[in-house]
A and B are shown apart, each in its own frame.
Chain A
């Protein structure tokens, strides 16, 4: 569903993403794993056409993101950090995004119910807790019932109940045949959620494998991850 080929992004002298090539398949949760600053968020922004690659390409279903007919109905994304105006209600925020891709208004209420925000839909989103903020982001990602989901650090700052909710949701979405790419720097979370793993460090591909295969390499998945990324930690790219 997603193919990147030689994807490269440079910020001044820093190579944030270095000739990254991988495929994301439908029907599975793919964990996108790497230390902080390893280029995960930059890669996701390039897939979404928000940042322009210096070389290489990213395609979704064989097309450049820029050329998608109805982007939100093909790809749903939760990016890191807030992505809504604090003075606008959750319903207003989702209604605006829905309108841009001719998504029927009733879908707004559907996704609000799905993420458990129906009761807070009319409140200004700036007053939301971190957990509600993440739920609003997920609702926006699900608006277009997309075949591909990109979730950048979705469990950041969530309580255990919220973490389990997102984990179950991702598994459900993959079970419905969607491609789910979820980034994290938390190896333990990926062990519970992901089927496949793409591990990067300093913008370079370190492993494209399954959770089972990577775990088998060392005493634990965590050990395997730390061996793989040894020496690549540190902040090199744009802050994640």
Chain B
């Protein structure tokens, strides 16, 4: 092809790359790694297995049976969180980031597309895992204990929000990955921030614990009665309402993504 012919050919394709093209790239990247599907499959299987185990061992119909069935969500979050970290850091480890940013020099678009594609995937998988765990946990209950139904107050909300928490913790990981860029350090920050900080805060500052992701997911999102106050307790522990908890988790993810996007545009690749 001569230079003139090539110039004509490139003029034929008007416009420029947009979110749609970049999102397609990120979707191909996500689905062409076997580790993506293994991680998501183990996350779902773990949540369901835990629901069944708790269901079989439930001896009393009292207590929040929905919350019990969703108990496998919190450990599974570690996997989607790490997957979110890897969506960004694996590009730095492999050197692919330079190819990505050469293909799409408008960097905020890259992070936005990564976040959107990852969020869509983990939301679907997370909801599927959450609903399956809920029904499996109910089915595993012994005779005489009625399984919770989605029509009971707060139950549908608890199942849906628990499913969404995979996506939100995943996005927090993705943002941390963009900020830190190194896999081990970013996974460390995620585990430290989400799990270890929770354990420390529970002992040191119980008032602050309500704002930490694991407490929000375990006690606000996945509970049908978030106050969950024992009848004879002198004082109820401070627990966020489900929707306030959802807002809090979204805020964490948004802050991490915004900081990651800001740094991505300012640093050399």
A residues sitting closer than 8 Å to B (CB atoms) are: 26-27, 45, 48-52, 65-66, 68-75, 77, 79, 81-89, 92-93, 95-97, 99-102, 140, 145, 147, 176-178
Contacts and interface: CB of A to CB of B under 8 A. Distances in A.
B231 interface: no
Contacts of A145: 1, 6, 9
A82 B70 CA distance: 42
A145 to B, nearest CB: 7
Contacts of B57: none
Given A69-B15, A69-B16, A87-B35, A96 B29 contact: yes
B58 interface: no
B268 A50 contact: yes
Contact of A82 (B10, B94, B101): B94
A82 B25 CA distance: 19
B32 A95 contact: yes
Nearest to A97: B103
Interface of B: 1-3, 6-7, 9-10, 13, 15-17, 21-22, 24-26, 28-29, 32-35, 90-91, 94-96, 98-106, 268-269
B269 A51 contact: yes
13 contacts: A48-B102, A68-B16, A70-B13, A71-B17, A72-B102, A73-B10, A84-B96, A84-B99, A86-B94, A88-B29, A95-B28, A95-B32, A100-B100
Contacts of A70: 10, 13, 16-17
Contacts, number: 121
Contacts of B6: 145, 147, 177
Contact of A85 (B15, B17, B91, B104): B91
Contacts of A26: 3
A51 B34 contact: no
A69 B21 CA distance: 12
Contacts of A77: 102
A147 B2 CA distance: 10
B268 A177 contact: no
Contact of B95 (A49, A75, A82): A82
A100 B103 CA distance: 7
Contacts of A66: 105-106
B17 A101 contact: yes
A140 B268 CA distance: 21
Nearest to A94: B28
Contact of A147 (B3, B29, B91, B99): B3
Nearest to B99: A83
Contacts of A95: 28, 32
Contacts of B35: 87
A100 B25 contact: yes
Given A66-B105, A71-B104, A51 B268 contact: yes
Given A100-B24, A177-B3, A83 B94 contact: yes
Contact of B104 (A27, A100, A177): A100
A70 B14 CA distance: 9
A171 B219 CA distance: 67
Nearest to B6: A147
A71 B94 contact: no
Contacts of A97: 25, 99, 103
A95 B22 CA distance: 12
Nearest to B26: A96
A100 B32 contact: no
A74 B32 contact: no
A145 B95 CA distance: 23
A48 B100 CA distance: 11
Given A51-B269, A87-B34, A95-B28, A74 B10 contact: yes
A85 B94 contact: yes
Contact of B21 (A52, A83, A102, A177): A102
B33 A99 contact: no
B117 to A, nearest CB: 11
A165 to B, nearest CB: 21
A52 B267 CA distance: 8
Nearest to B9: A145
A53 to B, nearest CB: 10
B99 A140 contact: yes
A93 B25 CA distance: 9
Contacts of B98: 45, 48, 50, 79, 83
Given A69-B15, A99-B25, A100-B25, A49 B102 contact: yes
